[in-house]
Amino acid sequence: MSLVLIILILLGLIFLWAILSYNRLVTLKNRAKEAWADIDVQLKRRHDLIPNLVETVKGYAAHEREVFEKVAEARERAMGAREGGDLKKMGEAEDYLAQTLKTLFAVAENYPDLKASQNFLELQRELTDAEDKIMYARRFYNANVRDLNIAIESFPTNIVASIFGFKKMDLFEIGGPEEKEAPKVKF
């Protein structure tokens, strides 16, 4: 074989590798975007359930106005952060919303009639379902982002990533430091 043919074959293989690497990066990026869309849908679902839940609890616990205001403020904050697109701010806002919802459910514990209300139980079930779906969607998104970020940082794919401007994506984390600690059990 001549030297020119060997060089052409090597260049062809490098070109083929670059195409395959580029396509892999595009696939990973689009999977991460799709996973984010799943999170967005579930967050919107949760945000839509909250006013119904608050109205149901209000009927039984009208004097708990401060709790309702905090939940409404937390919902607005979470929706605003979602529109901004900053994952860190979204995580903090969603964490604050989750904390205020826990307060709302704690208030509901004081009202046996409310706890027995079919409407409240259904809303509580739907909200729990939404929380579970958010958790699964967040895991799926973070796994896709992890794979994309590994590909962007790994040699030699990082060469193709830098040439075509692929950027690392942020993970979506919810939960304050208190949720990351092991629970304390007392007897």
Structure confidence at residue 185 (pLDDT): 41
Lowest mean pLDDT among 91-100, 103-112, 134-143, 149-158: 103-112
Q: What letters, b where the CB count within 10 A reaches 16 and e where it falls short, cover 17-43?
A: ebeebbeebeebbebbeebbebbeebb
Read off the tokens for 134.
Answer: 């958010």
| Topology at the third CATH level for domain 21-168 | de novo design (two linked rop proteins) (1.20.1440)
pTM for this prediction = 0.76
Structure confidence at residue 116 (pLDDT): 72
The domain spans of the chain are: 21-168
**pLDDT higher than 80, residue 184:** no
Residues 6+ apart with CB under 8 A from 141: 32, 35, 36, 38, 39, 171, 172
pLDDT in tens, 35-81: 999 999 999 999 998 888 888 887 777 667 788 888 889 999 999 88
Q: Which of 68, 97, 70 is nearest to 82 (CA)?
A: 97
State what percent of residues in the chain have pLDDT above 90: 45
Query: What span, in angstroms and rounded, lies between the C-alpha atoms of 139 and 35?
Result: 9
